[in-house]
Amino acid sequence: MKKDKIRLFLISLITITVLATAAIYSFIIVSEEEVTLGSLIPIIIPLIVIGFMFFFITRRYKDIKQGMPLEDERSRKVITLAAAKSFYVSLYWLLAISWFEGFFANKLFGLDKLDASQTVGGGIAGMALLFFAFWFYYDRKGKLI
Amino acid sequence: MKNRIKEFRAKYDLTQEDLARKVGVRRETIVFLEKGKYNPSLELASKVAKALKTTINDLFIF
């Protein structure tokens, strides 16, 4: 139980650090550059991750208070399955980004083309979203295989 | 997998949370186990059977 509390504390600490970094970065972006959707990608990604972590931390904190473990064999299976599926589906997402790079750049972000950090950021954001979606689905589905 | 966890739990007047704490798993795991929507490992099946003072063969319907 003490181990679980320490783990949850470390996860919270990392989330706060990411949040602080995203806040500093967004302050720099807003004060120095013209704000475009493309320049906001490095802010959107940590926000997605933080949103997911906030949901995860509050749920797990309640469980620990009730004397439940942070994870068990089922939750480990759910995470493994969600990670495997999100990796598999994200390959198609990465392919879509490379094929429709022009569409994403021009129509969505109003840019000539996406630079490396925007492309990688979009890929990571897609993977994070897919992982969250799969985790949410399998955590509620019951039958894991 | 069908099982008699709910029946045994009622027999010993245990809530799903009580059983989860005894076995050392999360409450959702007990919920899905009872519904037959999660097939436990042999170790977990054995722990649940022990917590409900019965055997795996009596608890799970194969």
Closest residue to B38, CB basis, from A63, A66, A144: A144
Task: Report the residue of B16, B25, B26 to disrupt the A interface, i.e. the one with the largest count of A CBs within 10 Å.
Answer: B26
Report which residue type is found at B34: E
B5 closest CA partner among A74, A73, A77, B58 = B58
Distance, CA of A15 to CA of B3 (rounded, Å): 41
| B25 contact residues in A (CB cutoff 8 A) | 68-69, 72-74
Size of interface A-B (CB pairs under 8 A): 43
Span A31-72, pLDDT tens digits: 776 677 666 777 777 787 788 788 888 888 888 887 788 888
- pLDDT tens profile A108-135: 777 777 778 778 888 888 898 899 899 9
Residue B21 forms contact with A (CB below 8 Å): yes
Q: What is the ipTM of this complex?
A: 0.85
Q: How many CB atoms lie within 10 A of CB B56?
A: 15
pLDDT digits (tens, 9 = 90+) for B9-59: 999 999 999 999 999 998 889 999 999 999 999 999 999 999 999 999 999
What is the spatial distance between Cα B11 and Cα A90, in angstroms, rounded to a whole number? 48
Cα distance between residue A62 and residue A143, in whole Å: 24
- What is the C-alpha separation between B5 and B2, in angstroms, rounded? 9
Contact status of B26 with chain A (Cβ, < 8 Å): yes
